[in-house]
Amino acid sequence: MADACSSGLGYDTIIVAASSIVAQPVAFDSPAVYRIGVEGRVLDSPPERLPPLDITVIPLEGGRAVSILVGEFRDQTALARFLDTLYEWQLALLSVERLSAAAPAREKR
């Protein structure tokens, strides 16, 4: 695996990039909203195991698809368990992005 220097990135570049990603401190044990991208159709998976999520399926050529899931998780442990479920369903993980801290009025998972 290449480090920052061998990939052509200087440490100053990495620090600026990291500080723009983490503008505020992030607690691993607090609720947050995440956007998760997977290759495949999540709607084809057993619905009883899906937490309440906004799901968008984007069809691709050749019958393939990408599913984008957005939802609130009570902490990063809950997020990790859900990612394990996606792995069990054999859906390739494309991305995970923390969008924001969760709104206090929303129901927690």
Give me the pLDDT at residue 52, please.
83
**Which residues neighbour 3 within 8 Å (Cβ) at sequence distance 6 or greater?**
none
Concatenated DSSP letters for 40-80? Answer: S-GGGS-GGG--S-EEEEEE-GGG-EEEEEEEEESSHHHHH
Is residue 66 predicted with pLDDT exceeding 80? yes
Q: What is the pLDDT of residues 67-89, one digit of tens each?
A: 999 999 999 999 999 999 999 88
Task: Please give the residue that has the higher pLDDT: either 25 or 83.
Answer: 83
Give the mean model confidence (pLDDT) for residues 84-102: 89
Return the SS3 of 23. Answer: coil
Give me the pLDDT at residue 68, please.
95
Please report the domains of the chain, with CATH numbers, ordered by start residue. 26-101 (3.30.70)
Give me the pLDDT at residue 101, please.
76
